[in-house]
Structure 1
Amino acid sequence: MELSQYLSMFIDESKEHLQAMNENLLSLESSPQDISIVHNIFRSAHTLKGMSATMGFEDIASLTHEMENVLDLVRNNKLAMNPFIFDCIFKSLDSLESMVEDIIQGGTGKADVTQIVAALRSIVTGDYNTPQVTATAVAKEPAKGIEVDEYQFSILQQSIDSGFLVFYVEVSVRENCVLKAARAYMVFDTLERMGEIVKATPSVQEIEQEKFDRSFSLYFISKVDQATLEKEILNVSEIETAVIITVDTESLAEMSRPRTEVEAATQEIAAAVAAVTAASVAPDAVTKAEPAAVSKPAAGGGAPVANRTIRVDIERLDALMNLFSELLIDRARLEQLASEVKRNDLTETVEHMSRVSSDLQNIVLKLRMVPVDSVFNRFPRMIRDLAKSLDKKVDLVITGAETELDRTVIDEIGDPLVHLLRNSVDHGVESIANRLAAGKSEHGTIQLRAFHSGNHVFIEIEDDGAGINRDRILKTAIKNGLVTLEQSSKLTDKEVYNLLFESGFSTAEKISDISGRGVGLDVVKTKIQMLGGHVQVDSKLGFGSKFSVQLPLTLSIISAMLVRLGSEKYAIPLSSIVETSAIQNSQVRNIHGNKMVDYRNSVIPLVSLSKLFDVPDFNEEQEEETEIVVVRKGDKQVALLVDEFIGQQEIVLKTLGKYLSGLFAISGATILGDGQVALIIDPNALIK
């Protein structure tokens, strides 16, 4: 029997074990002396090693074997955890995740793990060192140069001996550069007209495929002087910096010498440790690491309870949902025919089928529901790494991770939440010094909450940081032409904060590689609106900010109120409706040219759907009495004028396709029982 049929099972279980190791390692970082957590990590690593060896993924098996050796020493009290070992194991998990991801993409799961394996072995033998002096030196003075082979080294050496100039060049493109590969090619073309490029890092092929961040480096041989070389490189558009170092025989030997595997891995990890290491740490010393992130505690140290579950391919669930959608349309058609034929036996059969299909609908929808924990569980590790890189102390507190959402929404919500969380860590939570100066704890706290409310799920990200400066937002908005000086004085706090979601809006004084307050928030808003939800922000200067995301439970089947406008039918989602009513035309007021109506001790706007959608055979102004539907978005309400209520119905949401994209206040369409198409109104678009 071929092993390939077990690949899907291997991928799913590998991801589960890697996630479990990440979570347990974070818990261990908070309690380094809790050996029971080490046992849990060891079991996951051992299982992963066995699975990968069986499947033939030797690189994964060898790396997990080296991790086992380190963990075995720790669980037998022969080795104490310290920041170096933590970072080394975290880097091992990153490598394992990359290899599993390569397998998912159809690759072989192979990777160069020699450096990290060498570092793990050095921990076992006790040969590694993590003194503060070494770590700080590495962090402050990164080794310049590119490792070259023997042939390339001889070319550079002979060039220096022959009187040529040899340069080490580091080139950075601008952060907003769109075509990085094209700019790199122009730099290479410029250099090749003045001399010869010996070695580039990343490789030329990787640069052509844009597999580099913002910078690349190379060795260059020429007769041109350094000033001319720098001028020519900076003449290329969108090049930000060009660092050029003239290389002599002595510096060439130092810059290009191959480092040993242990040295390379140790220096790389030591640089990361330097930011958080406050004193020398001997291998046998017990160090209690400050927790950078706190998530929900691991569910005990005992053996996990066997799950009564089976794995189902996502495509099969999608096919089931599509078939059930067709069944719903046919059910609506049968209900209409039964009401016309008026035969008792047919009516009873159709009613029974409706009850059964309703139960079936609930089961099908629940099959697609996934706990948001599947998205939330990757955030504690991310917050830990961000906090360390920014030299901050941040606790992430997660509540409501068991809240369920439709799989379609789950697949899309991850990236917007990542951006909002990175934004909170980078620009929400202050530095340790600023927090202490403000009389706060040096530990910042970010609350990540999820909860149900009606037919929606709310996800909130709240930090106890500096808050949002209203005046800075207005100043930037006026400067960018988003509002006038006169308009700015009339805006409420919420309206000011919502300016953050305008395209390209940013109040960041310097652009960070992590995030900028407002950079990309327009993309977050667009993504959430595509999912049928909306996002809003609230803040109190000096006390923190809260981003609240509202999402629909499901995107495929919704309850809606069908209404008629003349000969046309429309559907309004029940989740947005407050109530329905009838009003006399005499109750309608005109205030500053806008129609308003009295509603429960307040006055709310009145929207004419017939005028909005240009309905030809209905005009509510000719009627003495008109039906209204009061809809809500947050704390704002609007009354919609309709001709007639048809009734409540479960409808299947169908997209309008790319040819009808961007229609105002229309989120899709549905097929009714009589075969007619009814457009689905998006109330959120009607409420500003």
Structure 2
Amino acid sequence: MAFDADDEILQDFLVEAGEILEKLSEQLVDLEQHPDDSDLLNAIFRGFHTVKGGAGFLQLDALVNCCHSAENVFDILRNHKRAVDSELMDVVLEALDHVNAMFEQVRNREELTPAPDELIAALDALALPQVAGEPVSNQSVDVPAAPESDQDGGDITDEEFEQLLDALHGDAPVTGASDSSAPDQSPANSSGSADEITDDEFEALLDELHGKGKFAAKPPADDAQTTGGAGPEKGGDGELITDDEFEKLLDELHGKGGSPTTGGSGPAPAKSPQPKAEPAKVVPEKAPASKPAPPREPAPVAETTVRVDTKRLDDIMNMVGELVLVRNRLQRLGSDSEDEHMHKAVSSLDVVTTDLQAAVMQTRMQPIKKVFGRFPRVVRDLARGMKKEVNLVMIGEDTDLDKNLVEALSDPLVHLVRNSVDHGIETPDVREKAGKPRQGTVTLSAEQEGDHILLSIDDDGAGMDPEVLRRKAVEKGIYDQDAADRLTDTECFNLIFAAGFSTKEQISDVSGRGVGMDVVKTKINQLNGQLSIVSALGKGSRIIIKVPLTLAIMPTLMIKLGDQSFALPLVNVVEIFHLNLTRTNVVDGRECIVVRDKVFPLFHIKRWLVKGSNAVTGPESGHVVIVAMGTSKVGFVVDQLVGQEEVVIKPLGRGLQGTPGMAGATITGDGRIALIIDVPSLLQHYS
């Protein structure tokens, strides 16, 4: 193992191999659904081959051996010597698991744990043809290409080049295309020193493939009658060939026409050049001397990307956050000023700050495909273990969101997808009896809606029965019978997020302990997100997650309780109105209000958050903010509404960390400190 190698080389390997291994898991599951997809087989072969090459350079022998055995399997598969089946995929996926484990050990600079000998032996067995003597469907016979030649851009080996020269020269001596004084080269000499081919020999080779005179420079008009064919005397860059022409040459060797010695459809003639051949006449053109083709635009040499440490991006984002606070402060000061120039300067600063904020946020964005990419394997393994047939459909994989959210959403989404396969999708026989296709479908989708991301997990399974959920809630002591009977269907569905709640009668290694969905709810709440459920018995269920695009800068509704400012995350705010507080009702001992025939619990949060505000009687009227927590909604009574403001979340000091109902603090436009309310935590602690 060569961890003492250049750290930059190791980092390059970790980046490149990490991206390849992320794709391989999804590609392998896709291959099981489309076993005859040649492009997919070649892509998987290249993936293992590339990881093997990088690991070999770093002398990671255990990783090389596992990748090499897997690569051999796909070499057999892509040559149609073996068919793809579930048993083969089980072995290959197990090999990929060991490759991923070793890759993580490389990342952590740990000693590699080799794949088991039994697994390597199983891979080697699968790398043999399925039926002995089965005909191989190879198009080229005379010049066999190496397994990776088609994928590596057409590189040819020295041995193949010698074969090509032997085929062209035959037993006849070779002379220059136009220079009769060039020294003859015998076949033995040509093949023995293939690395040192002369310019004349190479021109003869090109003439055999493309015809004489193709690469000759156009002669000047006045010398057109006296100058012969394409010899060494041609001036300028006439001896050079373009990249396109060289690619065409390689196509002749490996592509459609096979080698020049075969009777393929390529343009190469079978006749070898004669020693005393006359120079080819070049027909003059009525044009000034010029090169045979306009010069190609040079490829850009400068790198278009640069690798940046994520910590540096976090630091830049923090500085942009501070700039946003200064912008808010100047806007407040500018509104109190009558100076027109001040207003223009503040307005310009606002535009620049907004654009800079958006640009920096964009650098932190990652496609949610980084999360979605792991689910084909999760669903495949889970469905195979439970004897179910499940098809996973993914929509909106290119939707971008903050990298911190991408990482934070990974575990909650895994729980939800596993829950859909386990609880939602029925077994094939049950589905068939219900008139459904034997194969169930789980749809995972993502889309951007304003400054939020909507994620949904749909299944066409059995759905949820509200009556069963009510009965379970009573059995577990979450509600008494009367309260459970008053629950709406939506409130019943949300019971699955209660800690320890499960409808499974039998505990398995997948579910049944009531652990998982409560973790999902807690995590989504920490992300200032919302969860909602829609379900129809016998038709399926949908779980919808709404999370902000970023956690760094948060739009809030600024409110006042007495003289103290607080910030309510705007994602939680549903509605605001003014209310006569004397017209409230009491239900189950809790003060409620009725708005458009809907009942909302009412809370005077000033009594919770402001010292000395515990009086039972309050004002006769006040502002009510309806906030959402998951799928439930409550009303908060506040003294004053300040307005909407973007704030930067600052962590609370050591003495205030863990304060119930507080997510952090920020600095308002007037320079004061405002606490940011964590709505779920606030209600859980005080109500």
Same fold per superposition (TM over 0.5): yes
Paired with 2:647 and 2:614, the residues of 1 have a C-alpha distance of 25
- The alignment status of 1:74 with 2:74, answered yes or no, reads no
1:54 counterpart = 2:53: no
Work out whether 1:528 is the aligned partner of 2:524. Answer: yes
Output the amino acid matched with 1:329: L
Aligned equivalent of 1:542:
538
Q: After superposition, where does 1:237-636 map in structure 2 within 5 Å? A: 309-339=305-335, 343-516=339-512, 518-583=514-579, 588-592=583-587, 599=595, 604-614=600-610, 616=612, 626-632=622-628
Cα offset for 1:489? 2.0
Cα drift, residue 620 of structure 1: 12
Higher mean Cα deviation, 110-119 or 383-392?
Answer: 110-119
Cα separation, 1, equivalents of 2:658 and 2:520: 18
Q: Cα deviation per residue 1:354-402 (whole Å; 9 max; x = unaligned)?
A: 2211111111222222221110111001111111111111111111222
Q: Secondary structure at the match of 2:538?
A: coil
1:233-267 CA distances to partner (integer Å, 9 max, x unpaired)?
xxxxxxxxxxxxxxxxxxxxxxxxxxxxxxxxxxx
| Secondary structure of residue in 2 paired with 1:519 | coil
Whichever residue aligns with residue 652 of structure 2, its letter is: L
Residues 278-336 of structure 1: CA distance to partner in whole angstroms, max 9, x if unpaired?
xxxxxxxxxxxxxxxxxxxxxxxxxxxx9964432211111111222222223333344
1:670 to 663, 666, 679: 666
Please tell me whether the aligned partners of residues 460 and 541 of structure 2 are also in contact (alpha carbons under 8 angstroms). yes
Report SS of the residue matched to 1:651: strand
**How far, CA to CA, are the matches of 1:581 and 1:558 in structure 2?**
23
**Cα offset for 1:465?**
1.9
Deviation at 1:52, TM superposition (A): 1.6
**Alignment-derived partner of residue 227 in structure 2:** none
Higher normalized contact order (CA 8 Å, seq sep 6+, divided by chain length) = 1
Distance 1:404 1:37 in 2: 26
1:27 offset after TM fit, Å? 2.2
> What amino acid sits opposite 2:325 in the alignment?
I
Aligned to 1:33, the other structure's residue is in SS state coil
Partners of 1:637 and 1:459 in 2: CA distance: 21
2:410 and 2:396 mapped to 1: Cα distance?
16
- Distance in 1, Cα, partners of 2:125 & 2:50: 24
Structure 2 residue corresponding to 1:11, chosen from 8, 11, 14? 14
**1:64 matched to 2:67:** yes
Check whether the contact 1:666–1:679 (CA below 8 A) recurs between aligned residues. yes
Q: Relative to 1, partners in 2 of residues 1:552 and 1:517: Cα closer, same or farther, differing over 3 Å?
A: farther
Q: Secondary structure at the match of 1:412?
A: helix
In structure 2, distance between residues paired with 1:597 and 1:525: 27
TM-score if structure 1 supplies the norm length? 0.67
Match of 1:85 in 2: 88
**Change over 3 Å in CA distance of 1:517–1:534 after alignment to 2:** farther
> Match for residue 162 of structure 1?
none
Higher mean alpha-carbon deviation, 644-653 vs 367-376, is at 644-653
Cα distance between partner residues in 2 of 1:312 and 1:601: 55
Taking a change above 3 Å as real, the CA distance of residues 52 and 609 of structure 1, as seen in their structure-2 partners, is same
Inter-CA distance 628–603: structure 2 relative to 1 (3 Å threshold) = same
Judge conservation of contact 1:454–1:575 (CA < 8 Å) in 2. no
Note closer, same or farther for the CA distance 1:459–1:607 as it changes in structure 2 (3 Å cut).
Answer: same
Residues 547 and 61 (structure 1 numbering): CA distance in 2 closer, same or farther, change over 3 Å?
same
- 1:20 to 2:23 alignment: yes
Structure 1 residues 370 and 387 mapped into 2: Cα distance closer, same or farther (>3 Å)? same
RMSD (CA atoms): 3.2
Q: 1:377 to 1:618 in 2, by over 3 A?
A: same
Equivalent residues of 1:620, 1:643 under 8 A apart: no
Does structure 2 retain, via aligned residues, the 8 Å contact 1:371–1:405?
A: yes
Paired residues of 1:610 and 1:619 also in contact (CA < 8 A): no
How far apart, in 1, do the equivalents of 2:6 and 2:130 lie? 40
Contact 1:18–1:97 under 8 Å retained in 2: yes
2-structure distance, mates of 1:307, 1:601 = 62
Paired residue for 1:269? none
Residue 288 of structure 1 corresponds to none
TM-aligned CA distance change 1:605 to 1:526, over 3 Å:
closer
Change (3 A) 1:120 1:448: same
Aligned to 1:42: 45
Identity rate, percent: 38
Structure with higher helix content: 1
* 1:268 alignment partner in structure 2: none
Q: Relative to 1, partners in 2 of residues 1:385 and 1:3: Cα closer, same or farther, differing over 3 Å? A: same
User: Which structure 1 residue ranges, 5 or more long, are not aligned?
Assistant: 130-305
Task: State the TM-score, normalizing by the size of structure 2.
Answer: 0.68
Task: Report how far residue 508 of structure 1 moved.
Answer: 1.7
* Bigger Rg, structure 1 or 2: 2
**Would the alpha carbon gap of residues 585 and 32 (structure 1) be closer, same or farther in structure 2, given more than 3 Å must change?**
closer
Q: CA deviation at 1:537?
A: 3.1
Which of these residues, 661, 676, 679, is aligned with residue 680 of structure 1?
A: 676
Partner of 2:195: none
Change over 3 Å in CA distance of 1:629–1:494 after alignment to 2: closer
Equivalent position amino acid for 2:42 in 1: H
Stretch moving more, 550-559 or 339-348: 339-348
The answer as to whether partners of 1:620 and 1:626 remain within 8 angstroms in 2 is no
